[in-house]
């Protein structure tokens, strides 16, 4: 194949099988922690997450869902298989879950996929509630003795699935977390990997359960498991195991995750925040956890988790100085799900995973093989991780990135960069850097989406500046295996002239179960001058300071016009035109302004504190600084005067170094911080 890596993966898929498309909701946020939670505590966690405007779709219950039979850390008892008594278990711990059926019904009503952890190595013990049913169906004659683990024997496996797991699945368990961590190979079948065979049998069981439906629309089978060797991509989804919570681990994960695509193991997740601490760590580092969450946005499985350690905290509200940035990361994940789902379908069709090394796209470029901390996330996004703390004075962390040929838009700052270059950039804690190909059209969710199981009647389209482009947007029902043959695509394009931006949304091709006949669009144009008028299908939309369907608005912070369409039929073409009476103006003036505006939003309250701390709380902040920091608010109120406001901004910005340097109520440390963050 030479350097044609994508062709190699396409042919590998023909031999080794496809990576099946998981339910869309598995691409949302997963809550998990190894802790002795009760059912009411689980309810409280989900309710509190949602009260903080944090979406969630998957709830993992670690091994304390079942009776652990007196398991202790200091003196664990061993069973006849050499396993800790209580590590394997199938009997609900009634002290924590007095009515498992009601708990699972609650999780279903709360639009959650719920999984239980399994360590199956000790087989079926006499003290388990399922023992009698299993032994009777299996024909076990040694009553009172444990039945050894024999997943490689069909009769044992069938009995296990039918009498042990199926009753809990009937109650509402959606999938199983296969946490096999014992001996590698079967004790009965030479050379058979227990991990691989568990994955195969559990996925096969899930597929059989899914096919029991009578309506012809079968749920998609999936499991959650450890890597079991080549071919494991056929059984999504996977997790990497237990890692230490360190900056070094975070720096390693981009390479680790993206290169797994070399064998099409694309649905790969990690314990966001790290699984465990070294002994000398006293408490959770909120900055490390935040950066891990920000990186996790651009991974296939977005799951927070940790071991049973009181020092490790995963509640965003436990970190007041960081909680809203943590929330923003999770919300960004939900905003990007339509884009991610497009990449998931592409994985099914081509064998190329959503996370892939840079050299897939630029195989003849040496640099593409030497940037382990960055990777492609889908076709149009380059992702990375900020893998070290910010400077304590400037509040900035450096991040080197190589941008290949073309132009690339830094979504977190609004800068547009020429490619074929390596840049050393700096980011605040609130900035989660990722770089989008100029001209790309990102399909996104509106901010109202809090669950991927709840239908959404609005599609956000973000048109990345710097070029024109097109998108083939993929959709299916998100839940059933009908996607193999039944789905829909919508062709979208943007073309720019001197006086218009023209967007065409084609009639939807194909259909799927419960496909909406109408929907609204929210069209965003970052770093674009405000138009003089907007038309949708020939109908002029008025400007509104307070957006609503059938209007357009202009956001002074991101410098983007946004068009909010009414509900439109999806079976006909639609056209949106932004008109400019005297041309579009110099869009280059807008690039990077978003970064200054957003950083000022954080610096302004610090500036007031600093001024008050140094003896003067009555006077206003320096006028020149306010002309810079307040510029987006003026633009918001009167977009058509943007050229005047930008002129005022440019003049004030040139004077700002002197203003900050000579400000008598600021200390040197703060002056250094402001100067660094605003690029003075």
pLDDT tens column, 646-661: 999 999 999 999 999 9
Average pLDDT over residues 577-590: 91
Q: Is the pLDDT of residue 268 over 70?
A: yes
Q: pLDDT category, 213, cuts 50, 70, 90?
A: low
Q: pLDDT category, 204, cuts 50, 70, 90?
A: very high
Whether the full predicted model's pTM is greater than 0.95, yes or no, is yes
Q: pLDDT category, 309, cuts 50, 70, 90?
A: very high
Kindly write down the DSSP assignment for every residue of 437-450, as one continuous string: ETT-EEEE--TT--
Lowest mean pLDDT of 174-188, 202-216, 331-345, 508-522, name the range. 202-216
- For residue 654, the tally of other CB atoms under 10 A from its CB is 11
pLDDT at residue 586, rounded to an integer: 85
Q: pLDDT category, 42, cuts 50, 70, 90?
A: very high
Question: What proportion of the chain, given as a percentage, has pLDDT over 70?
Answer: 99
Interhelix angle 323-350/286-296, rounded to 10 degrees, is: 30
Report strand pairing: 268-272 vs 238-239. parallel
Average pLDDT over residues 119-146: 96
pLDDT at residue 450, rounded to an integer: 95
Residue spans per domain, the chain = 359-437, 455-589, 592-677
Q: pLDDT category, 73, cuts 50, 70, 90?
A: confident
Closest C-alpha to 368, from 443, 259, 265, 467: 259
Cα 65 from Cα 99, distance rounded (Å) = 12
Pick the CATH number of 359-437 from 2.60.40.1180, 3.40.50.720, 3.10.310.30, 3.30.230.30: 2.60.40.1180
Average pLDDT over residues 210-216: 69
Q: pLDDT category, 214, cuts 50, 70, 90?
A: low
Q: Using the CB atoms, write b or e for 474-509: b if 16+ within 10 Å.
A: bbbbbbbbbbeebbbbbebbbebeeeebbbebbebe
Contacts of 392 (CB under 8 A, 6+ apart): none
Mean pLDDT across the chain? 96
Please, is 72 exposed, middle or buried when counting C-beta atoms within 10 Å of its C-beta (0-12, 13-18, 19+)? exposed
What is the signed CA dihedral for 293, 299, 304, 308, rounded to 10 degrees? -120
Beta bridge partners of 491: 472
Rg value, the chain, Cα:
27
Q: Same CATH topology for 359-437 and 455-589?
A: yes
Question: What proportion of the chain, given as a percentage, has pLDDT over 90?
Answer: 94
- For residue 248, the tally of other CB atoms under 10 A from its CB is 9
Average pLDDT over residues 279-298: 97
Residue the block writes with tokens 């499991």? 223
Average pLDDT over residues 227-246: 94
Q: What is the CATH number of domain 455-589?
A: 2.60.40.1180
């Amino acid at each position: 194949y030479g350097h044609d890596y994508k062709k190699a993966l396409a042919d590998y898929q023909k031999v080794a099988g496809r990576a099946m498309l998981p339910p869309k909701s598995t691409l949302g946020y997963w809550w998990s922690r190894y802790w002795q939670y009760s059912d009411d505590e689980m309810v409280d966690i989900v309710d509190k997450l949602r009260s903080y405007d944090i979406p969630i779709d998957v709830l993992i219950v670690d091994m304390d869902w079942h009776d652990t039979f007196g398991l202790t850390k200091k003196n664990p008892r061993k069973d006849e298989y050499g396993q800790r008594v209580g590590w394997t278990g199938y009997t609900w711990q009634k002290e924590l879950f007095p009515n498992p059926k009601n708990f699972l019904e609650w999780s279903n009503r709360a639009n959650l996929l719920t999984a239980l952890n399994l360590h199956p190595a000790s087989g079926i013990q006499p003290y388990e509630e399922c023992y009698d049913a299993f032994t009777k169906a299996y024909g076990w004659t040694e009553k009172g003795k444990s039945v050894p683990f024999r997943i490689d024997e069909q009769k044992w496996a069938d009995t296990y699935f039918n009498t042990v797991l199926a009753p809990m699945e009937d109650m509402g368990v959606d999938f199983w977390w296969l946490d096999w961590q014992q001996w590698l190979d079967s004790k009965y079948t030479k050379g058979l990997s227990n991990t691989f065979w568990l994955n195969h049998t559990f996925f096969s069981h899930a597929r059989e359960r899914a096919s029991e439906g009578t309506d012809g629309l079968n749920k998609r089978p999936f499991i959650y498991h450890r890597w079991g060797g080549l071919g494991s991509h056929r059984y999504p989804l996977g997790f990497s195991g237990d890692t230490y919570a360190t900056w070094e681990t975070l720096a390693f994960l981009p390479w680790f995750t993206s290169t797994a695509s070399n064998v099409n193991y694309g649905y790969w997740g990690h314990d966001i925040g790290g699984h465990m601490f070294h002994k000398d760590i006293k408490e959770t580092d909120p900055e490390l956890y935040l950066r891990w969450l920000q990186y996790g946005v651009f991974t296939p499985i977005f799951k927070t988790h940790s071991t049973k350690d009181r020092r490790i905290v995963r509640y965003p509200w436990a970190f007041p100085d960081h909680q809203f940035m943590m929330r923003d990361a999770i919300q960004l994940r939900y905003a990007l799900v339509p884009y991610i789902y497009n990449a998931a379908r592409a994985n099914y069709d081509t064998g190329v995973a959503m996370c892939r090394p840079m050299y897939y796209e630029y195989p003849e470029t040496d640099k593409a093989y030497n940037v382990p901390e960055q990777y492609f996330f889908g076709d149009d996004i380059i992702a990375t991780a900020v893998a070290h703390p910010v400077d304590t004075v400037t509040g900035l962390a450096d991040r080197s990135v190589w941008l290949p040929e073309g132009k690339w838009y830094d979504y977190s700052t609004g800068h547009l960069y020429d490619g074929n270059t390596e840049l050393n950039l700096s980011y605040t804690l609130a900035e989660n850097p990722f770089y989008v190909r100029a001209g790309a059209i990102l399909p996104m969710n509106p901010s109202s989406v809090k669950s991927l199981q709840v239908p959404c009647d609005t599609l956000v389209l973000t048109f990345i500046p710097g070029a024109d482009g097109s998108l083939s947007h993929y959709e299916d029902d998100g839940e059933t295996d009908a996607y193999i043959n039944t789905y829909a695509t919508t062709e979208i394009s943007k073309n720019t002239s001197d006086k218009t931006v023209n967007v065409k949304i084609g009639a939807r091709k194909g259909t799927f179960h419960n496909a909406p006949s109408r929907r609204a669009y929210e069209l965003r144009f970052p770093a674009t001058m405000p138009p003089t008028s907007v038309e949708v299908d020939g109908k002029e939309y008025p400007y509104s300071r307070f957006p609503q369907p059938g209007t357009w608005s202009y956001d002074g912070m991101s410098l983007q016009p946004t068009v909010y369409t009414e509900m439109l039929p999806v079976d006909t073409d639609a056209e949106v035109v932004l008109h400019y009476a005297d041309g579009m103006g110099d869009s280059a003036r807008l690039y990077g302004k978003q970064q200054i505006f957003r950083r000022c939003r954080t610096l302004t309250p610090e500036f007031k504190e600093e001024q008050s701390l140094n003896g003067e709380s009555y006077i206003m902040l320096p006028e020149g600084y306010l002309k810079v920091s307040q510029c987006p608010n003026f633009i918001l109120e009167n977009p058509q005067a943007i050229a005047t406001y930008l002129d005022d901004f440019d003049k004030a910005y040139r004077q700002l170094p002197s203003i900050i340097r000579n400000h008598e109520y600021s200390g040197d440390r703060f002056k250094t911080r402001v100067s660094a963050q605003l690029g003075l």
